[in-house]
Structure 1
Amino acid sequence: MEVSRQKLWTKDFLIVSLINFTITLIFYLLMVTIAGYAVENFNASTSTAGLVSSIFIIGTLFGRLGTGRIIGDWGSKKTLFCGLLLFMLATMSYFIALNLPLLILNRLIQGIGLGIASTATGTIIAQILPPARRGEGIGYYSLSAILATAVGPFIGILLTQLFEDYRMIFAVDSVLAIICFMMYFIVKVPDAPKNANKGADKAGLKLSNFIEMRALPIAFVALVIGFAYSGVMSFMTFYAKELNLVTAGSYFFIVYALVILASRPFTGKLLDARGANIIIYPCLVLFAIGMYAFSAATSTVVFLIAGALIGIGYGNFNSVAQAIAIKVTPNERLGLATSTYFILYDLGLGIGPYLLGFFVPTMGYSAIFLAMVAVIFLSIILYYFLYGKNEKMKQINI
């Protein structure tokens, strides 16, 4: 029985991870192409194109906002079904988004669907993992998103090179969304604990009904880190073209993912054995160095080295920070902890492209990415005061 309880690689773990991989792949495939689509088809400005890109993440934020509470009331299974259904329908609706307002609205709705579905999958994973191996298990689970960050942009950039018509991208996304929805029916999803809303005022609108306060400190650090990374995600295509490194741009996320795949088995186990600080501080420093190299890149070699450094730094920070949010939270509030973490993280990713887009015409991409180095170093200070200096005192769910 003890061996069974300690298993990580169960059928449900694999299928839920595959669902998360698929919806995240669609997200990143569109993230690197939709700004170009808005510019080419609707003559959108750089800032407006950034809004078209980032409004998806704002939708994701709205989708997550009440999902932690909904999981406690409905259970993980019903919540996941609703999220995947909405996400699939919105993905198929790009064909009828024939003007800029409709495109922005559809991106917002699709983001809400992703927010609901991905919060449910993250909660399910936290529920089925053995507590003593949660850091390791969440690290492996987050690889599904990491792989998607590589495969999605690679496929997106490849499709834009092979086809002039963006409808091919929408067709591929629609097929993937349908497959993802069908996978739901072959997984057994545990419901949230019956006392999931213990301590909450069910009839009221108390903040604690929607936000897990214990997860807020690390989630705020994730907001700053998400903001620093958001420009890489949204403006990669434009930046690579400006540097005449389009091919390198398509392989950037492949390198990014490979270094995370190589390092994740070690960082997950190290988190459970030694705590987060030994991972977080080096990762943030490497992220800053990688961002500097990215801002100064003039060759394919430097461009891809930057991708490797950003992958080790940013990629591992994200999974460890998510695990921290789970570890500091009681089991009955895992849904709220998961949604709280991603609400702030998504907020950083969402506002970044829109705000940074205003500075592109005057500063240029390189200067913007260089400025993000300072933002990353700011996050190191924030992490120390908000979590790092009292790490051992804060972990209760281990």
Structure 2
Amino acid sequence: MKKEALWTRSFIFVSVANLFLFITYYGLLVTLPSATIKYYGATGTAAGLVNAVFLGAAIVIRPFLGPWIERFGQKFILILSLTMFAACSFAYSFLHSVESLLVLRFIHGIGFGMATTITGTIIADVVPETRKGEGMGYFVMSNNLAIVAGPFIGLTIFRELDINALFWTGAFFSFAAFMLGVGTKLAKEGTFIPGEKKQAVFERRAIPISITSAYFALAYSTVLSFMAVFAAERGLAVESSFFFAVYAFVLILSRPFTGRWYDQYGANWIIFPAIVLFGMGMFCLGMSHGAALFFIAAGLIGVGWGTLFSSFQTVAIQSVDPKRRSVATATFLSVFDIGIGGGSIIAGALAGTMELGTIYIVSSIYIFTGLSVYYWAQKKSVPMTGRITRRKNA
């Protein structure tokens, strides 16, 4: 049987636009706190708020996106969100106070929350049902590549040039994402009907797997938040620059296999082993004192966590009727972001009481207990196309 096309124009344009969005996001995420102190004379507390306000806005706006997409259509929301994101990216260079920066970060966060929700929704619709795991895996890989490219570009420009060069670089990527959005052709469009019954802002069917994703995100956030500090403590500062590069490289190598196996054998055949690999990777990270084990940990975490996130999102969208995918995507990302944010706060508190390596070892045990959390979630998550454990025809 001939496979349905995956690499369509819409799939490529939206995936690359998502890559550019996250490059801008990560480039600013790792530099703005320092830039706020250096160029605006802000306190450490205010510097911390520039990212907290951004992520808070994204979390707040996402639950409303599902009903809006259903009413106004995917293309309208895509262009609106990309326009907002690009306009805010251009506006950074014209700010002169911490207060105005915080306001802009809030608006920018709204645009980011909208844009990342609608791109995931579009991909969920354009990927063929028989290749859903494979397609979502490649799409999520754009986020993983941005984890490497965004901080590298942001930190390099911030160090070698100045903050305005960083802002204009972000504006360039944001504008490129906007142009790709304009060039995206979508078959389905929503229609606003006056007096139409309001749709629920959360998708009940997607909540179990969303909670599961947040559970594991708590552990992964410790890697995002404290990798540089941990590497410095272990004398691996130079190697830390390549941690996420190894992470992404191994993930790219594994993606063609894990996505197809998901579609062929079902989610459980992929997710249970990925949890084990993720836990092993965190344990190796906590035990690492040299480059070899440090990079082995990067590869295991890349395959483990990288596979888990895309698989969880695929389960979320497969658990609902196609017309509710936008709401399911918004529900999934909102709950996931709470896990990432909460994990950073918890890790920060623990970092004052124990060594980071110990935190990573404890996190590995926490991850292994997540096997039971996913077991509970997969019993609750019943895709419209059948049980997620069901073997599918290739």
1:8 matched to 2:11? The reply is: no
* Residue from 51, 76, 82 that aligns with 2:80: 82
Residue in 2 aligned with 1:23?
21
Q: Deviation at 1:21?
A: 0.8
Alignment gaps of 5+ in structure 2: 387-394
* Residue from 155, 172, 175 that aligns with 2:172: 175
Instruction: Describe the SS at the equivalent of 1:8.
Output: coil
Instruction: Describe the SS at the equivalent of 2:241.
Output: helix
Give the letter for the 1:246 counterpart: A
Instruction: Describe the SS at the equivalent of 1:363.
Output: coil
Q: Is the 8 A contact 2:17 2:176 kept in 1?
A: no
Task: Label 1:101 to 1:237 Cα distance change in 2 as closer, same or farther (>3 A).
Answer: farther
Q: Is the 8 A contact 1:58 1:347 kept in 2?
A: no
Deviations 1:189-236 (A, max 9, x none): 233466x99xxx9545xxx61111111110111111222112322333
1:288 matched to 2:279? The reply is: yes
Q: Is the 8 A contact 1:55 1:350 kept in 2?
A: no
**1:246-395 pair list within 5 angstroms:** 246-387=237-378, 389=379, 394-395=382-383
Quick one: distance in 2 between partners of 1:240 and 1:156?
20
Residue in 2 aligned with 1:186?
183
Q: Deviation at 1:118?
A: 1.4
Residue in 2 aligned with 1:126?
124
Task: Label 1:166 to 1:368 Cα distance change in 2 as closer, same or farther (>3 A).
Answer: farther
Instruction: Describe the SS at the equivalent of 1:108.
Output: helix
Quick one: distance in 2 between partners of 1:350 and 1:55?
11
Deviations 1:269-303 (A, max 9, x none): 11111111111111112112212222333333332
Give the letter for the 1:190 counterpart: A
Q: Deviation at 1:242?
A: 4.1
Q: Deviation at 1:260?
A: 1.0
Deviations 1:104-150 (A, max 9, x none): 44333222211111111111111122222212211222222222122
Q: Is the 8 A contact 1:63 1:114 kept in 2?
A: no
Give the letter for the 2:177 counterpart: C
Alignment gaps of 5+ in structure 1: none
Query: Across the two proteins, how many residue pairs are aligned to each other?
Result: 384
Deviations 1:60-118 (A, max 9, x none): 21231111111000000010111111111222333345454444443332222111111
Quick one: distance in 1 between partners of 2:348 and 2:34?
13
Give the letter for the 2:186 counterpart: V
Q: Is the 8 A contact 2:79 2:182 kept in 1?
A: no
Quick one: distance in 1 between partners of 2:29 and 2:365?
25
Give the letter for the 1:259 counterpart: V
Instruction: Describe the SS at the equivalent of 1:66.
Output: helix
1:396 matched to 2:387? The reply is: no
Q: Is the 8 A contact 1:77 1:190 kept in 2?
A: no
Quick one: distance in 2 between partners of 1:375 and 1:202?
45
Instruction: Describe the SS at the equivalent of 1:386.
Output: helix
Task: Label 1:50 to 1:271 Cα distance change in 2 as closer, same or farther (>3 A).
Answer: farther
Task: Label 1:39 to 1:364 Cα distance change in 2 as closer, same or farther (>3 A).
Answer: farther
Task: Label 1:34 to 1:238 Cα distance change in 2 as closer, same or farther (>3 A).
Answer: farther
* Residue from 193, 206, 221 that aligns with 1:215: 206
Q: Is the 8 A contact 1:226 1:345 kept in 2?
A: yes
Residue in 1 aligned with 2:389?
none
Residue in 1 aligned with 2:392?
none
- The two structures have a TM-score, normalised by structure 2, of 0.88
Quick one: distance in 1 between partners of 2:335 and 2:35?
27
Quick one: distance in 2 between partners of 1:368 and 1:30?
27
Quick one: distance in 2 between partners of 1:82 and 1:193?
14
Task: Label 1:133 to 1:312 Cα distance change in 2 as closer, same or farther (>3 A).
Answer: same
Residue in 1 aligned with 2:390?
none
Q: Is the 8 A contact 1:69 1:210 kept in 2?
A: yes
RMSD between aligned residues: 2.7
Task: Label 1:193 to 1:88 Cα distance change in 2 as closer, same or farther (>3 A).
Answer: closer
Task: Label 1:303 to 1:59 Cα distance change in 2 as closer, same or farther (>3 A).
Answer: farther
Quick one: distance in 2 between partners of 1:363 and 1:39?
28
Q: Deviation at 1:322?
A: 0.7
Task: Label 1:78 to 1:100 Cα distance change in 2 as closer, same or farther (>3 A).
Answer: same
Quick one: distance in 2 between partners of 1:120 and 1:114?
10
Q: Deviation at 1:44?
A: 4.2
Instruction: Describe the SS at the equivalent of 2:245.
Output: helix
Quick one: distance in 1 between partners of 2:331 and 2:267?
19
Quick one: distance in 2 between partners of 1:376 and 1:248?
25
Instruction: Describe the SS at the equivalent of 1:9.
Output: coil
Deviations 1:360-379 (A, max 9, x none): 34435434433432432332
Quick one: distance in 2 between partners of 1:170 and 1:366?
35
